[in-house]
Amino acid sequence: MDQNKQLLDLAGTRIAVDIGSTVVKVARVRPSGELVGQQFYPRDFEAGIARQVESILDGLYADEGYDNVLVCSSANGGLRVGIVCLTPQYSGAALRNQVLLAGANPVFLHGFDDAGGDPTYVDVLLVAGGIDCEDAGPLEQRLKHFRPERYRYGTLVYAGNKYLADAFKASFPQGATIPNPLADGLSGRITSVFEALRRAYLDDLVHKEGVSELRASLSRGIRPTPEVVNRGFHRAILNGSSVRVVGACVLLDIGGATTDLHYTVELVRDESDAKPLPGSSVARYVFTDLGIVASRDSLLLQMRTHPRLYDLLQTVCDGETREIYRLLREGEYEPTPELLSYGCLFLAVDRFEQGRGPGLPTADLSRLAQIILTGGAAQALSEETVARVVQLVLPSTASSPAVLIDRQYQVWVDGITWSGDVPA
């Protein structure tokens, strides 16, 4: 290809960067979502994010500068959020949706009357619930019984009825207040919680991972990778992508720190206690304890104690299943990244089928028509083995779903280049 033809092909393209827990992806993309080319680089933890990313860009695109670069990151595994609210089933469902859309991870959802609290540490404890109305007696009384010392958190945030914000600040001066996202009712639109948590996610990322050292033209527009993947899935659902979605679908983004479950809402059982926000077509859930690097220990613990571990190993291992089973149960086996990734897949689908997780709906997997895998940890897996692993969880009468492994990270490209609005 001559130089003029190459320049013509690159006209109108942009550079996109994804800083993951284990890999840095750099892509050349068109606004339409078409992928022109991409490179992958293992994270250089000694160099740090700023030095590595800028070195990569200098080597590839030195003549273009950094003003038109799209950047997202999930390098720290996401912000952990605990929700305490007036009604977990109504206000809580709407708030959880905003937390997820912001790329953060809702760890628990409690009502004000939960006297037990929660020992799990969260970065943000979000206190909210109720629409904005002056007659707020019931909520005011329940707020009086709220005891933040029952929880372990970094930042306390109030986002409830605005008429009680001053009283909350008086009782808990260390807390911050933001506008009530449910001011006019239960809505799926982008709200103050989404914006505040997105900023907090990025602040947390900057603090923990040194993203602040990136030059301003790169760091000022950074976005959470989970938000980007969610947008890419929405784009595919709306037939705006080369990734074709057929029927009820699950998308799993398997990474080093978390496994993110994105799914079409028709998979949720009618009798499920937890449900996605009314009117939504796609929902998301974060398994913060399933990942092949940062969450490796919790993943292995769950694999070792699962009653179907032997079946899983028999499905994905080539021979010596009994010996691998024995060593893994005894904590003496060093699993490959591929085995850990299959473990994330199996446990995520199994827990979705049972609704095992705070706020996770129960799925009817007999409706599942397709499963899509993306993320760095999914790249080495095979479609045939993925289908067999999923079959372990499906009802015996269910048909095997179509399997697509997003080896070109097209869902990420679609999300980071899409200027459309995510439906409620």
Q: What is the pLDDT of residues 340-360, one digit of tens each?
A: 999 999 999 999 999 998 778
Amino acid 338: pLDDT = 95
- Residue 7's pLDDT is 35
Which CATH number does the domain 13-75+203-224 belong to among 3.30.420.300, 3.40.50.720, 3.40.50.2000, 3.40.50.970?
Answer: 3.30.420.300
Q: Which is more confident, 122 or 401?
A: 401
CATH 1.20.120 fits 244-405, yes or no: no
Residue 71 forms beta bridges with which residues?
17
Residue bearing the bigger pLDDT, 231 or 210: 231
pLDDT above 60: residue 185: no
Residue type, 159: A
Segment 247-298, tens digit of pLDDT: 999 999 998 878 999 999 999 999 998 888 777 889 888 887 888 987 888 8
State residue 347's pLDDT score. 97
Q: What is the pLDDT of residue 209?
A: 60
Q: How many CA atoms lie within 13 A of 28 on its CB side?
A: 14
pLDDT (mean) for 127-153: 79
pLDDT at 5: 38
Helices (H), 102-251: 137-144, 165-171, 192-209, 216-219, 225-237
Output the average pLDDT for the chain.
83
Task: State yes or no: pLDDT of 412 exceeds 60.
Answer: yes
pLDDT at 313 (0 to 100): 96
Q: In whole angstroms, what is the distance from residue 101 CA to residue 89 CA?
A: 18
Put the strands of the sheet holding 370-374 in their side by side order. 282-287, 259-264, 249-254, 370-374, 402-405
User: What are 50-74's pLDDT values in tens digits?
Assistant: 888 888 888 877 666 666 788 888 7
The residues, any chain, with a CB within 8 Å of residue 290's CB and separated by 6 or more, are 254, 258, 259, 298, 299, 302, 343, 344, 347, 348
What kind of architecture, by CATH, is found in domain 80-192?
Answer: 3-Layer(aba) Sandwich (3.40)
The domain limits of the chain are 13-75+203-224, 80-192, 244-405
Look at residue 265 in the predicted model and tell me its pLDDT: 94
Do 13-75+203-224 and 244-405 agree at the fold level?
yes
Kindly report the length of the chain. Answer: 424
Higher pLDDT residue, 99 or 416? 416
Secondary structure element (H or E) that encloses residue 152, with its range:
strand 151-158
Q: Which residue has the higher pLDDT, 209 or 357?
A: 357
361: CB partners within 8 A, 6+ apart: 268, 269, 272, 273, 274, 275, 276, 283, 352, 355
